[in-house]
Chain A
Amino acid sequence: MEQEGQWVQAALGGDQRAFAHLVDAYKGPVYNVCYRMLGNPADAEDAAQETFIRIYTRLGLYDPQLKLSSWVLSVASHYCIDRLRRQHIKWLSLDDLPFGHQVEDREDLPEDLLLQDERRAQVQSLLQSLPAEYRMVIALRYWQDLSYEEIARAVGTTESAVKSRLHRAREMLAQQAIDRRMPIAQPEQAACHRKRVMTDVVF
């Protein structure tokens, strides 16, 4: 933590090497949040880099009383939401772009990698069905493992708002899973049984 403080001070004085240490320390969380928010690696990388440029130019506004990680994530979250808003205006008519571009030549991939790919695509498409503000709290809760309080600080809202956003987001995800007939273990099996019983009755 003290080391971080020194890096911040040095970066404020224009030391780009010190700032590079900060980038190394936070590139993981920032890139991950951008990836979950924007849905693809190329946009995520660009957004994460822009986030760090913003961090560099606004380092003077950082209040050392706060945890640096919360501040960094709040810059990332605001940048992603802004960017999505701009994209939304630009691509309003192309809103339903398919995820087809992720289908590549996959034949030579080992099976568990294929499964991983499939799961990732499933996760990303579920996330994209959420409004940006909800997606953000989900990303911070699941991949950054932040508490409600920390999420509230990062997105600039109250704890009770975080609680209700998480709840609404999970309801939506559940509904999507049901609508898309995703393999939710028990109900599928139960449905299967019911069908068999019904056919028994009919015939």
Chain B
Amino acid sequence: MSCSRWSEWMSLRLDGLLARDQEEALLAHLAACQACQQQWEAMSWASSLLTSEPVVKPPADFTAKVERRLRQRELLRGRLMGSLKVCVGSVSIWGSAAAIALVLLTTLWTPSLRAVTLHVGFPLLANSVSMLSIVTRAGIAGARALCTTSTALLLFGYICLALALVASWTRVVALCRGKLSTRPE
């Protein structure tokens, strides 16, 4: 058996995993081989050094610190979710506004559809009111989640823009309606 193989047995011996006859064989080799004897001494010395070193204890406030960290994480996650909601909310508002504007423009452009637009105009107006309530709801949710001045201002801006959009759009509808009714037969 080679010396490196004996060295494996040394490690096993330190863990108490050698059978009696294996242990005797190892001891016999150590008595005969200077290099292995020296290695065994160094290895068992290092091992006993580690064994004599006690387990270290964490600081007394360790658990409290972990709890604090956890709470901070949850708070941060809550904020992230809040701003995500605001983003999704504003994207959907702008998306629906753009879609409505597009539909409106194409219908007004096509003469045959103009009359239909007038009959559909009022229901759409009702829709815009419900859209407004969505905007305010998203705004309130976002403001609650974030509670910072900058985002509150941003939200306020969004709401104003949405209001302006709706107002201008109703104005366009009203104008078109006036033109249609005053047109000579």
Residues of A in contact with B (beta carbons under 8 Å apart): 16, 19-20, 23-24, 27-28, 31-32, 35, 41, 44-45, 48-49, 52-53, 56, 119-120, 122-123, 126, 138, 141-143, 148, 163-164, 166-167, 170-171, 173-178, 182, 184-187
A73 to chain B, nearest CB (A): 14
B11 & A49 in contact (Cβ 8 Å cutoff): no
Q: Which secondary structure dominates chain A's binding surface?
A: helix
> Which chain B residues border A166 with CB–CB below 8 Å?
11, 15
B7 & A171 in contact (Cβ 8 Å cutoff): yes
Instruction: Name the residue in A19, A126, A170, A171 with the highest tally of chain B Cβ atoms < 10 Å from its Cβ.
Output: A170
B49 & A170 in contact (Cβ 8 Å cutoff): no
A45 & B63 in contact (Cβ 8 Å cutoff): no
A16 & B67 in contact (Cβ 8 Å cutoff): yes
Q: Which of A56, A120, A187 makes the CB contact (< 8 A) with B38?
A: A187
Q: Which of B43, B53, B73 makes the CB contact (< 8 A) with A173?
A: B43
- By size class, the interface of chain B is 20 to 34
Known: A170-B46, A174-B42. A32 touches B56 (CB 8 A): yes
A45 & B10 in contact (Cβ 8 Å cutoff): no
A53 & B50 in contact (Cβ 8 Å cutoff): no
A191 to chain B, nearest CB (A): 10
Once bound together, how far apart are the Cα atoms of A120 and B55, in whole Å? 11
A53 & B58 in contact (Cβ 8 Å cutoff): no
Across the A-B interface, how many residue pairs have beta carbons closer than 8 Å?
110
Once bound together, how far apart are the Cα atoms of A187 and B45, in whole Å? 11
B73 & A53 in contact (Cβ 8 Å cutoff): yes
Contacts of B35-67 to chain A: CB distance below 8 A: 38-39, 41-43, 45-47, 49-53, 55-59, 62-63, 65-67
> Which chain B residues border A27 with CB–CB below 8 Å?
58, 62-63, 66
> Which chain B residues border A126 with CB–CB below 8 Å?
46, 49
Closest to A123 in B: B53
Once bound together, how far apart are the Cα atoms of A19 and B57, in whole Å? 20
B43 & A171 in contact (Cβ 8 Å cutoff): yes
B137 close to chain A: CB less than 8 A: no
Q: Please name 19 pairs of A and B residues whose Cβ atoms are closer than 8 Å in the assembled complex, sorted by A.
A: A23-B63, A23-B66, A45-B62, A52-B66, A119-B49, A126-B46, A143-B55, A148-B15, A167-B12, A170-B10, A170-B11, A170-B43, A171-B11, A171-B43, A174-B39, A174-B46, A177-B45, A178-B38, A187-B38
Closest to A24 in B: B63
Once bound together, how far apart are the Cα atoms of A19 and B39, in whole Å? 47
Instruction: Name the residue in B41, B50, B62, B67 with the highest tally of chain A Cβ atoms < 10 Å from its Cβ.
Output: B50
Once bound together, how far apart are the Cα atoms of A185 and B43, in whole Å? 12
B50 & A123 in contact (Cβ 8 Å cutoff): yes
A28 & B53 in contact (Cβ 8 Å cutoff): no
B56 & A35 in contact (Cβ 8 Å cutoff): yes
B55 & A49 in contact (Cβ 8 Å cutoff): no
> Which chain A residues border B8 with CB–CB below 8 Å?
163-164, 167
